[in-house]
Amino acid sequence: MLSRQQLIQQIKQKKSFLCVGLDTDIEKIPVFLKEYPDPLFEFNKRIIDATRDLCIAYKPNAAFYERHGVTGLQSLIKTSEYLPKDCLSIIDAKRGDIGNTSGMYAKTFFDKEAAGMDFDAITVAPYMGNDSVIPFLAFEGKWVIILALTSSVGSKDFQYLETGNGPLYETVIQKANTWAGADRIMYVVGATKSTEFTNIRKYAPDNFLLVPGIGAQGGSLKDVCQYGMTKECGLIVNSSRAIIYASNGEDFAEAARAEALKVQQQMQAELEKAGVI
């Protein structure tokens, strides 16, 4: 479990605000791993070992594990146990339901006694409002990362709708700010919309923003930092495919490290430029 201060300390120490997305796809991992008893976990373990000093967070995407049923869930549980304690562990699950059901999802991912997992943070969909989010906040010290502005084509359908009080994604942020502070809530903000960061920072000056769209989804790290970085960094930038699938040979972990190192070095430059370190 990482508090806001511990997270900021990790960022300063590692000179990085990189989150490695563990979107571990059985179709894309090196073929030789399929001979291991748990290929998804074996892949994750080697990626983690190769990158843990270069990143401050890991984010397994639940769907990539759930699609394998029981064995996939076992891989996810093993991965969650293996994640280093000095990194923020985020389950990208995008859950959201009425209060008592959200409470069950909170147990699933936050309570090791319940389902074997003990993530620090979860992504949550806001459509169903306060009672879909608050049960997650009931777990002391855990983070809730609320979808605000996402990075794919579908974000245009509803998130930009004018609500009389700015676009919907801004209204989501304003409302969610009344549920908890920047020590408990982060927002997902897609990196393909760098100019919108200025706007978002009006309403979320201190919150950490989880930025998913760097790399395969095409966002620019420079733009994100120019418009989104705060004096305490305030950004966690995710990269999944560009790092974890840098090679699909025996050298995949070294290749992932090389990619992560490139990103970390760019991040260090940005942190220095902004005076965070």
Residue 245 CB coordination number (10 Å): 19
Site track for a second copy across 174-213, x = CB under 8 A: -x--------------------------------------
Identify residues 208-267 at the interface with a second copy (CB under 8 A). Answer: none
* 125 is an interface residue for a second copy by CB under 8 A: yes
Instruction: Please confirm, yes or no, whether 94 is among the known catalytic residues.
Output: yes
* 96 is an interface residue for a second copy by CB under 8 A: yes
Contact 28, 242 (CB under 8 A): no
* Count of residues near a second copy by CB under 8 A: 58
* 1 is an interface residue for a second copy by CB under 8 A: no
* 158 is an interface residue for a second copy by CB under 8 A: yes
Q: Given the rule CB under 8 A, which of 12-20, 50-58, 152-160, 191-199 is the region that contacts a second copy?
A: 152-160
* 99 is an interface residue for a second copy by CB under 8 A: yes
Q: What DSSP assignment string belongs to 237-257?
A: EEE-HHHHTS--STTHHHHHH
Among 97, 206, 223, 232, binds a second copy (CB under 8 A): 97
Classify residue 276 by its DSSP letter. Answer: -
What gap in Å lies between CA 60 and CA 182, rounded to an integer?
23
Contact 211, 191 (CB under 8 A): yes
* 59 is an interface residue for a second copy by CB under 8 A: no
For CA atoms 131, 103, 133, 70, the dihedral sign is: negative
Q: How far is CA 132 from CA 22, 127, 146, 169, 179, in A?
A: 25, 8, 11, 17, 11
Q: Cite the active site residues.
A: 94
Question: Where on the chain is the footprint of a second copy (CB under 8 A)?
Answer: 23, 61, 63-64, 66-70, 72-74, 77, 92, 94-99, 101-102, 104-105, 107-108, 114-117, 125-133, 147, 150-159, 161-164, 168, 171-172, 175
